Chain A
């Protein structure tokens, strides 16, 4: 059942995790993890994604593919919060022997469906997955509305392969595919408009015959409504373009391209956690 306060609390806790994990690791990508926190929290804790942490390979589950794999910390925090593995693992991010690699690794991390990290590939993988699930047989007597959710970055849309996948999804009428664009407007080298202008993302997807919705990616009600409507839409692929703020929730990171891939100092972690009203060291 949907409880707005619970999802909001999860998102805040995940933001604290992200800041602490990356600081402990000494490297990582806070900006794009924080911008996606509300989206991922809504998926996992807002009764959108059908999943069972006790049974990661449950055949009837929906699938989540993090195409923007550098935002791994937001996924790891959600998976730990959901119970796929213990929260004690979060402090091992990027360390030798950890189940939590710098980018998602399906061979090492329970709940990660496929390895990602090389940008532009997740939507193609999601297309194949959606096509493969369609018409499949489920052991239980559940309605087969299994949906593949794929979270992309906006800078990632510069990869040509994304549009190969966009064509394929429409051509194959993949009604069980929902893409989500974390549209925070920034990439490593600066603003997307300056590095390589994306134009109007919604228009581009409409031109590829997708069902398009735009939301405020930090308004949990809007995000949830759009995701559920997209899941219910079966005539073809849907995309939810979530307008977000890079670094959202940590004021000195917000809107700063420099926080794309940089670890905060201990002082910055303390300031961030006070702002988030999360107790330091809570990740353990």
Chain B
């Protein structure tokens, strides 16, 4: 199986949707080759708008296109396409409840050498706090295609978190996105590992490591961060009694926070959040950075072990 990045799903899926007659358009801010929206531009030039290096304008042009009945997907990198244009996302897209799909790429520390200025690790916190916003974090290329398709087919604002790093395949080709549903990828009885995005493959590695230590780990891909699948999370927490969350994001405000909010009110159990520990990113190769920030399978397994010994 070939390793692909989730960002590669953007252009590919938009071209598919356009060929099926879905009224998708892309609004890009000079990063079409990186985000792969150039695929749509090449195939359907009339469906592509490049605003230049102007992210605020990108979001609001998309908003206007949505008001005109189009289904706009926005580009740029997550740090700019969410962070720099946050007021446009809040006050125009979400406050008006517009059918805009935020699909910037290069989220997380796996951006790599560009460094901390370009590594968006606050995007889940920023987007999931907005009323009406749906937040999807696909774990591989196939899931990313499904997430983009789900966003196109479901009215209202969406944020789909896409990354630059190539990822191992977790889901089969043609998988469908069940909005608001977490996927139990492996059943276990001792500890629950809840992951999203890049971290799903690492969580599965952690479960293998734990199995060697005779610890049975349940692995859940949270997938939809908002609306979060409380039912699945509560059931698993009640079963295992221990929960580790892991995300390629700040440990503040993202998946760990979302899970803690659900479990704290419904099924309080000992918890540990694995993520970027309230610091900015730094330059390095993606694999080095995953190790540097303690996000690989062994770190997750160690966190689970410590939690069980607590």
B95 at interface by CB-CB < 8 Å: yes
Q: Which residues of B contact A131 (CB under 8 A)?
A: 49, 61, 64-65, 68
Q: A118 and B54 in contact (CB under 8 A), knowing A125-B63, A131-B61, A161-B60?
A: no
Report the Cα distance A107→B92, complex, angstroms: 12
For window 32-65 of B, CB contacts with A under 8 Å fall at 46, 49, 51-52, 54, 56-57, 59-65
Q: How many residues of B contact A (CB 8 A)?
A: 30
Q: Which of A102-158 contact B (CB under 8 A)?
A: 105-107, 113-118, 120-121, 124-133, 135-136
| 6 cross-chain pairs, A with B, having the tightest CB-CB distances, nearest first | A128-B64, A132-B68, A124-B60, A164-B57, A129-B64, A128-B61
Report Cα–Cα, A86/B179, bound state, in Å: 40
Report A-chain residues with C-beta under 8 Å of the C-beta of B27: 128
**Which residues of A have CB within 8 Å of B68?**
128-129, 131-133, 136
Residues of B within 8 A of A278 (CB): none
Known: A124-B56, A128-B60, A128-B64. 19 other contacts (CB 8 A): A105-B95, A114-B67, A117-B91, A124-B61, A124-B64, A126-B64, A128-B62, A128-B67, A128-B68, A129-B65, A129-B67, A129-B68, A130-B64, A132-B66, A132-B68, A136-B69, A161-B60, A161-B88, A164-B56
Minimal beta-carbon separation of A114 from chain B (angstroms): 5
Contact between B67 and A167 (Cβ–Cβ < 8 Å)? no
Within A166-195, the residues touching B (CB, 8 Å) are: 167-168, 172
CB-based nearest A residue for B60:
A124
Can you list 13 A-B contacts with CB-CB less than 8 angstroms, sorted by A residue number? A114-B67, A115-B96, A118-B91, A121-B92, A124-B64, A125-B64, A125-B92, A129-B68, A132-B64, A132-B70, A161-B56, A161-B88, A172-B49
Q: In the complex, A165→B49 CA distance in Å?
A: 13
When the two chains form the complex, which single residue of B65, B70, B72, B87 contacts A118, counting CB atoms closer than 8 Å?
B87
Residues of B with C-beta under 8 A to A115:
91-92, 95-96
Asked, given contacts A127-B64, A128-B63, whether A161 binds B57 with beta carbons under 8 Å apart, the answer is: yes
How would residues 192 to 230 of chain A score, 1 for a CB under 8 Å from any chain B CB and 0 otherwise? 000000000000000000000000000000000000000
B49 near A114: Cβ-Cβ < 8 Å: no
B57 / chain A contacts, CB cutoff of 8 Å: 124, 127, 161, 164-165, 168
Question: If A114-B96, A164-B54, A165-B60 touch, does A121 touch B88 (CB 8 Å cutoff)?
Answer: yes
Flag if A125 contacts B60 (CB, 8 Å). yes
User: Is the pair A128, B56 in contact by a Cβ cutoff of 8 Å?
Assistant: no
Which residues of chain B have a CB within 8 Å of any CB of chain A? 25, 27, 46, 49, 51-52, 54, 56-57, 59-70, 72, 87-88, 91-92, 95-98
Kindly state the separation between the CA atoms of A172 and B49 in the bound complex, as whole angstroms: 9
Contacts of A133 in B (CB 8 A): 68
Chain A residues whose CB sits within 8 angstroms of the CB of B98 once the complex forms:
114
Which among B67, B87, B92, B97 is the interface contact of A132 at CB below 8 angstroms? B67
A172 to B88, CA, bound (A): 21
What separation, in Å, do the CA atoms of A106 and B65 have in the docked complex?
A: 15
In chain A between 211 and 268, which residues have their CB closer than 8 angstroms to a CB of chain B? none
Cα(A161)–Cα(B98), bound, Å:
20
Bound-complex Cα distance A105 to B94 (A): 11
Bound Cα distance A165, B59 (Å): 11
- Residues 47-92 of A at the B interface (beta carbon under 8 Å): 63
**B-chain residues with CB within 8 Å of residue A136 when the two chains form the complex:** 68-69
